[in-house]
Amino acid sequence: MTTTTPKKPKDAATAPGTGAARGRPAAGPDPVTQDRLPAPKNSSRTLLFSLLRPHRGKVALGALLLLTQQAAVQAVPLLVAYAIDSGVPALRDDDSGPLTAVAIAYVICALGAGLLQFTFIRVAARINQSILLELRGRIYRHAQALSLDFHDRFTSGRLISRSTSDVQSLRELLNEGLQELLIILVSIVYIGALLFYLDVGLGLGALLSFIPLYFLVRNYRRRAAERFARKSTAIAAVIVKFAETLNGIRPVKAFRREKANDEAFGALNRRHELVNADTNLEMGRFVVLSRLIASTAVAGIVLWGAHRVTAGAMEIGALAAGALYIRRLYDPLDRFAMMLNNYQSAGASLDKISGLLYQRPDVPEPERPVELPPRPEALPGREVVFDDVRFAYRTGGEVLPRFRLTLAAGETTALVGATGAGKSTLAKLLARFYDPTEGRVLMDGTDLRELTTAELRRGVVMVTQEAFLFSGTVAENIAIGRPDASRDAIERAAKAIGAHDFIASLPAGYDTDVRKRGGRISAGQRQLVAFARVLLADPAVVLLDEATSSLDIPGEKAVQDAMVTVLRGRTALLIAHRLSTVEIADRVLVMEGGRIVEDGPPAELIAGTGRFSDLHRAWRESLA
């Protein structure tokens, strides 16, 4: 192509109504290109509850187990107090009864606590497993359901990081953090009550020490929250870079980008390490300060207790129990800091996941879908009308100014024009990858927005240059658009396209695994598989977007024949780089800056004096 066109039309001319018509944000940073997607404040909590709700029975059971288990655990120091204050004096009077009773109770408590904890861990693990399973499934389904418009802006690396590192930090919270946090909270309540029971002064002392602890925790949480958001963004950046490099490994090799990539990746990796070190420092600070508070409290309380004992107001056994309880009270503080970390990082991840799940597809399913009338055998094509359509991508200005275009049923239309003219955009509107900003796209008089996904898929198929093959067999790949097709139908389609011979010569014929991206199959053969796929799917409208432009000339003859077979009788839009392909079209459209500037049968345009005739002459000369 040698046409040169000014890029997009001026924004000023299209500004009124560009965004307002559909409530789009007019300017400013695009929220979707940022890591955290906008969502209502309570959406994380809503998500968590919606995940827990199906398991509420098990959650209640877990809570009951936990409460009982902690009661058994916290009874032990009381038993010690009883042994010292009542058991030992009784033994002096030759009564071994109380001490034996204490020993038996001790064993029962220890055993019971162990068994209860075991059951609790199992119940909690079950809940966690199903929550994570469900969450990963939801992310996958949702990512698939979101429109291209979303995927244009939100990279696949970010999506991968959502379902890997973000789900992982939730896993850590659920598997370790949350259980321990609950245990600590329950034990604090129990211990506090028991301390008051032993001695009001002990209880008050412990309570008092919680005031500075409260402020310390609050301060730590605030500082850590901000660091965790940074940390989770930093790890996401590492994953995004990794995924991007591997997705584009061919251009990376072709342009020798390895070294530059290494440097960029190294920088991201180091940044993650730095942020990580920073959060660890914060945790260290917390641990030191909390230990200081805890040991001051222990010293104070023991001093007070000793004083009470000498004054005869407290038994020595009660003091021993009190000391044991106080140790148990402050011991978990270190782990508490760790858990807060888990909790924060999981909170940041949950925010991101719920932000993603909150996104709605821009191309929604119709509420009251309409069915298209059946097509006559003889004419599988359908009429297509672009009815006063205007289109702008969410980011950037108007690509297609308002236009009307009718493609007659069964007609093959070639669309040519410079790169960036808007050809692919027009095709994508017809495939309903996007909805028009204004106006309607009609198929046999029905707005595409009123068709179900299934009907739309039967209606329109788009083939691009990439001819993507999914992992699976060749047969499965041909049957993508009609998974219930018989082997016979698959082979018939392949034969009609002229792909049967090469498929039959593959190691396992139709059952050959193509591996990812069809590693073992050449570009031309991949293209044939893609055409066989279309023929089997039997759509009314076929869109070929530069479908053959990656092929070399010898392969092309077979592909050209296959193309004729695929297009026969269908309504077809053929976006072509090579003018040789254009010759099979009934009609040619020339596009410039989103406008159709020429329209007519190929022979007529070639004979004329317009753009297409210039192009065609230049092309003929290049062949000579």
Binding site for ligand ADP (CB under 6 A): 7-8, 152, 393, 395-396, 399, 417, 419-425
Q: In the bound complex, what is the minimum distance in angstroms from residue 465's beta carbon to ligand ADP?
A: 11
Residue in 597, 541, 584 with CA at minimum distance from that of residue 385: 541
Q: How many residues bind Mg ion (CB under 5 A)?
A: 1
- The residues, any chain, with a CB within 8 Å of residue 145's CB and separated by 6 or more, are 361
The answer to whether 416 and 585 are in contact (CB under 8 A) is no
Q: Which is nearer to ligand ADP, 514 or 547 (CB)?
A: 547
Q: Cα 200 to chain center, whole Å?
A: 54
Residue in 72, 45, 8 with CA at minimum distance from that of residue 418: 8
Q: Which is nearer to ligand ADP, 319 or 576 (CB)?
A: 576
Q: In the bound complex, what is the minimum distance in angstroms from residue 131's beta carbon to Mg ion?
A: 43
Return the one option of Mg ion, ligand ADP, none that residue 555 interacts with (CB less than 5 to 8 A, by type): none
Q: Which is nearer to ligand ADP, 190 or 434 (CB)?
A: 434
Q: Which is nearer to ligand ADP, 294 or 399 (CB)?
A: 399
Q: Which is nearer to ligand ADP, 19 or 498 (CB)?
A: 19
The answer to whether 297 and 330 are in contact (CB under 8 A) is yes
Return the one option of Mg ion, ligand ADP, none that residue 425 interacts with (CB less than 5 to 8 A, by type): ligand ADP
Helix 97-145 / helix 178-198 crossing angle, nearest 10 deg: 150
With the C-alpha atoms ordered 482, 486, 489, 491, is the resulting torsion angle positive or negative? positive
Q: In the bound complex, what is the minimum distance in angstroms from residue 415's beta carbon to ligand ADP?
A: 8
Q: Which is nearer to ligand ADP, 30 or 365 (CB)?
A: 30
Between CA 290 and CA 475 the distance in angstroms is 65
CA distances from 526 to 212, 394, 470, 523, 546 (A): 69, 33, 11, 5, 14
In the chain, the N- to C-terminal Cα span, in Å, equals: 17
- The residues, any chain, with a CB within 8 Å of residue 232's CB and separated by 6 or more, are 165, 166, 169, 345, 348, 349, 352
Return the one option of Mg ion, ligand ADP, none that residue 420 interacts with (CB less than 5 to 8 A, by type): ligand ADP
Q: In the bound complex, what is the minimum distance in angstroms from residue 149's beta carbon to ligand ADP?
A: 7
Between CA 555 and CA 360 the distance in angstroms is 43
Q: What is the dihedral of CA 243, 248, 253, 254, to 10 degrees?
A: -160
Instruction: Count CB neighbours of 487 within 10 A.
Output: 11
Q: Strands 571-575 and 412-417: what pairing?
A: parallel
Q: Which is nearer to ligand ADP, 98 or 420 (CB)?
A: 420
Q: In the bound complex, what is the minimum distance in angstroms from residue 283's beta carbon to Mg ion?
A: 52
Q: Which stretch binds Mg ion (CB under 5 A): 57-65, 80-88, 286-294, 417-425?
A: 417-425
With the C-alpha atoms ordered 101, 106, 109, 114, is the resulting torsion angle positive or negative? negative
Q: In the bound complex, what is the minimum distance in angstroms from residue 575's beta carbon to Mg ion?
A: 6
Between CA 493 and CA 127 the distance in angstroms is 48
Q: Which stretch binds Mg ion (CB under 5 A): 26-34, 143-151, 409-417, 423-431?
A: 423-431
Q: In the bound complex, what is the minimum distance in angstroms from residue 595's beta carbon to ligand ADP?
A: 12
Question: Is there binding between residue 465 and Mg ion (CB under 5 A)?
Answer: no
Q: In the bound complex, what is the minimum distance in angstroms from residue 423's beta carbon to Mg ion?
A: 5
Return the one option of Mg ion, ligand ADP, none that residue 296 interacts with (CB less than 5 to 8 A, by type): none
Q: Which stretch binds Mg ion (CB under 5 A): 421-429, 473-481, 501-509, 534-542?
A: 421-429
With the C-alpha atoms ordered 452, 458, 460, 465, is the resulting torsion angle positive or negative? positive
Return the one option of ligand ADP, Mg ion, none that residue 422 interacts with (CB less than 5 to 8 A, by type): ligand ADP
* Binding mask of the shown chain, residues 373 to 412, with x at each position contacting Mg ion by CB under 5 A: ----------------------------------------
Q: In the bound complex, what is the minimum distance in angstroms from residue 24's beta carbon to ligand ADP?
A: 13
Return the one option of ligand ADP, Mg ion, none that residue 278 interacts with (CB less than 5 to 8 A, by type): none
Q: Which is nearer to ligand ADP, 153 or 257 (CB)?
A: 153
Between CA 418 and CA 430 the distance in angstroms is 20
Return the one option of Mg ion, ligand ADP, none that residue 511 interacts with (CB less than 5 to 8 A, by type): none
Between CA 455 and CA 448 the distance in angstroms is 9
Q: Which stretch binds Mg ion (CB under 5 A): 6-14, 418-426, 524-532, 558-566?
A: 418-426
Q: Which is nearer to ligand ADP, 181 or 421 (CB)?
A: 421
Q: Binding Mg ion by CB under 5 A: which of 5, 209, 345, 424?
A: 424
Q: In the bound complex, what is the minimum distance in angstroms from residue 31's beta carbon to ligand ADP?
A: 15
Q: Which is nearer to Mg ion, 116 or 544 (CB)?
A: 544
CA distances from 208 to 181, 212, 214, 216, 560 (A): 21, 8, 10, 14, 85
Helix ranges (H only) for 83-147 are 88-92, 97-145
The answer to whether 352 and 162 are in contact (CB under 8 A) is yes
Q: Which is nearer to ligand ADP, 173 or 421 (CB)?
A: 421
Return the one option of ligand ADP, Mg ion, none that residue 396 interacts with (CB less than 5 to 8 A, by type): ligand ADP
Q: Which is nearer to ligand ADP, 395 or 486 (CB)?
A: 395
Between CA 612 and CA 618 the distance in angstroms is 10
With the C-alpha atoms ordered 529, 531, 535, 539, is the resulting torsion angle positive or negative? positive
**Long-range Cβ pairs for the range 160-164 (8 Å, 24+):** 160/239, 160/240, 160/243, 161/235, 161/236, 161/239, 161/240, 162/352, 162/353, 162/356, 163/136, 163/139, 164/239
Return the one option of ligand ADP, Mg ion, none that residue 96 interacts with (CB less than 5 to 8 A, by type): none
84-143 binders of Mg ion (CB under 5 A): none
Between CA 471 and CA 491 the distance in angstroms is 19
Return the one option of ligand ADP, Mg ion, none that residue 395 interacts with (CB less than 5 to 8 A, by type): ligand ADP
Q: Which stretch binds Mg ion (CB under 5 A): 100-108, 225-233, 391-399, 424-432?
A: 424-432
DSSP 184-206: HHHHHHHHHHHHHHH-HHHHHHH
- Shortest-Cβ-distance residue relative to Mg ion: 424
Q: In the bound complex, what is the minimum distance in angstroms from residue 420's beta carbon to ligand ADP?
A: 4
Q: Which is nearer to ligand ADP, 166 or 545 (CB)?
A: 545
Q: In the bound complex, what is the minimum distance in angstroms from residue 428's beta carbon to ligand ADP?
A: 7
Between CA 321 and CA 316 the distance in angstroms is 9
Q: In the bound complex, what is the minimum distance in angstroms from residue 545's beta carbon to ligand ADP?
A: 7
Q: Which is nearer to ligand ADP, 490 or 573 (CB)?
A: 573
Binding region for Mg ion (CB under 5 A): 424
